[in-house]
Amino acid sequence: MSFLSLIFKNPFRNKSRALLSIIGIGIGIATIVALGAITDGLISSAEDTLHAGGSDFTVSSKEQDSSNMGSFGSASFNETWRDKIANESNIEWAAGVYVGNVVTKDDPFFIMIGLNKEHYNMVDLKIVEGHENTAENEIIIGKLASDTINKTTGDTIELDDKEYKISGVYETGNSNMDMGAITTLSTVQNLMDDEGNITSIYVKVNKDADVDEITENIDKKYGDNLTTIASLSDIEMVGEMVDMLNGASWAISLLAIIIGGIGIINTMLMSVFERIREIGVLKAVGWSSKRILIMIIGESVVITLTAGVIGSIVGFIGVEALTYFNLMPGVTPVYTVWTFLKAFIVALIVGIVGGIYPAIKATKLPPTEALRYE
């Protein structure tokens, strides 16, 4: 039997022990994959909201202490600011938006989005069923929201003790917007009891215009009242949330290394003690300590990489199940190469770290003593 064959076969001699090790390490790997996909999904969703309709940046209020809060935690502000921003040089369009949460019978945090009708096309809104709202008591509902609350074209929905008719179902490709409903800006302002205000302005610049230069000019000119947001790094609240999730992911990774390392050390030590005579024979026929060291560490890595594969699959299935049963509304998980690469790096580290001590123990066995071992 070849050297590689031994490495791949030996870990599974005791199937129950190998299975327990794989399960223990796999749970940590599954958690890493799941949390990574959810975190990347949240980031992607926030980026989509930030650049809705292909906008280059968003303008919001600099105030943070208001009962009427915008999408990213800022206060609502007067809608006349939209005209001022739209009249700045190199601005192709500027759309004033009001995003608020209202309580419905089916959803206590139902998202209502207010837009002037001329700005509907600026947010890549596509009607997939029915038609756009044409009256004050009509709304169009996002496809995700329609599926969640089981309402569609022709149904009515109660918002703030008033019934609204759903005239159509739309899609934008933005999970946050598709989890809510859109109607006229004035209707949402009335629902939120915040007439004349908006929560943000989506801005698209002219082709070949310098976005950084334009945002810098707006910040200089209106910086006492407004702030421009071109990326998630500009949003302190979102940045802190992402940092928290990434920190949790790394903490779980470290925990998986520690717990998995202890488990694999125990597994490999038991394997070495059970094979003392075999190791003695290998030494007697000329195997070097280095070769035995590599064999034991290799067996450890085989177990942890197997756990990495199984854990990644379980993590993927778990996240997809949460999405399927709508337990993460508004969040579409994103799977990147780094998400899975990180899981396998953790599995590899656990295998190497967990295999070193048992491997050293194996190399220190005297051949004559090992051959006499029963």
Q: How far is it, in rounded angstroms, from Cα 47 to Cα 24?
A: 35
**What would the two tokens of residue 3 be?**
């050297």
Same domain, 217 and 254: no
- Is 234 within a domain? no
Q: Are residues 159 and 303 in the same domain?
A: no
Q: Is residue 51 part of a domain?
A: no
Average pLDDT, integer, range 157-178: 88
**Residues 72 and 215 occupy one common structural domain:** yes
Cα–Cα distance measured from residue 249 to residue 345, given in angstroms and rounded to the nearest whole number: 14
| pLDDT higher at 123 or 285 | 285
219, 272: one domain: no
Mean pLDDT lowest among 92-106, 236-250, 285-299, 358-372 = 236-250
Which residues are CB-neighbours of 84 under 8 A, at least 6 positions away?
Answer: 222
- Note the helical H segments in the chain: 3-9, 15-50, 80-86, 143-149, 175-178, 185-191, 211-222, 236-274, 276-284, 289-324, 337-363, 367-372
The span from the CA of 25 to the CA of 310, in Å, is 10
pLDDT over 70 percentage in the chain: 92
Residue 256's contacts (CB-CB under 8 Å, 6 or more residues apart) are: 25, 28, 29, 31, 32, 346, 350
pLDDT one-digit tens code per residue, 178-225: 889 999 999 999 999 999 999 999 999 998 899 999 999 999 999 999
Are 353 and 251 in the same domain? Answer: yes
pLDDT of residue 80: 95
pLDDT at 66 over 90: no
For residues 74 and 214, state if they share a domain: yes
- The yes-or-no verdict on residue 235 having pLDDT over 70 is no
Looking at the predicted structure, is the pLDDT value of residue 73 above 80? Answer: no
**Final residue of a structural domain among 229, 260, 283:** 229
Query: pLDDT band at 330, cuts 50/70/90?
Result: low
pLDDT at 368 over 80: no
Residue 283 lies in a domain: yes
Q: What's the token pair of residue 83?
A: 């005209």
What average pLDDT does this structure show over 319-346? 87
- Domain extent at residue 169: 57-229
pLDDT tens per residue, range 91-107: 999 999 999 888 887 77
The torsion of the CA quartet 106, 112, 117, 119, rounded to 10 degrees, works out to -130
| Residue 63, domain member (yes or no) | yes
Give yes or no: residues 82 and 212 share one domain.
Answer: yes
- Select from 229, 251, 266 the last residue of a domain: 229
When pLDDT is cut at 50, 70 and 90, the band that residue 372 belongs to is: low
Q: Give domain status of residue 174, yes or no.
A: yes
Q: What is the rounded distance in angstroms from the CA atom of residue 158 to the CA atom of residue 191?
A: 11
Give bridge partners of residue 226 from the DSSP assignment.
Answer: 61
Residue 86 lies in a domain: yes
Are 87 and 217 contained in the same domain? yes
- Strand, coil or helix: what is 162? strand
Has residue 164 been placed in a domain? yes
Average pLDDT, the chain: 86
Q: Which of 113-122, 158-167, 309-318 has the highest mean pLDDT?
A: 309-318
**How sure is the predictor about 369, in pLDDT bands with cuts at 50, 70 and 90?**
low
254 and 204 in one domain?
no
Number of domains in the chain: 2
On whether both 66 and 177 belong to a single domain, the answer is yes
State whether 205 and 92 are in the same domain. Answer: yes
Backbone angles phi, psi at 135, to 5 degrees: -130, 165
pLDDT at 233: 60
Q: Are residues 69 and 204 in the same domain?
A: yes
Give the pLDDT score at 138: 94
Q: What is the pLDDT of residue 236?
A: 59
- Residue range 272-326, pLDDT digits in tens: 888 888 888 888 888 999 999 999 999 999 999 999 999 999 999 999 999 888 7
In terms of phi and psi (left: phi > 0; alpha: psi -120 to 50; beta: otherwise), the region of 150 is left
- Give a yes or no: residue 103 inside a domain: yes
| DSSP sequence for 257-316 | HHHHHHHHHHHHHHHHHHTHHHHHHHHHTT--HHHHHHHHHHHHHHHHHHHHHHHHHHHH
Domain boundary among 195, 229, 263: 229
pLDDT at position 313, please?
A: 96
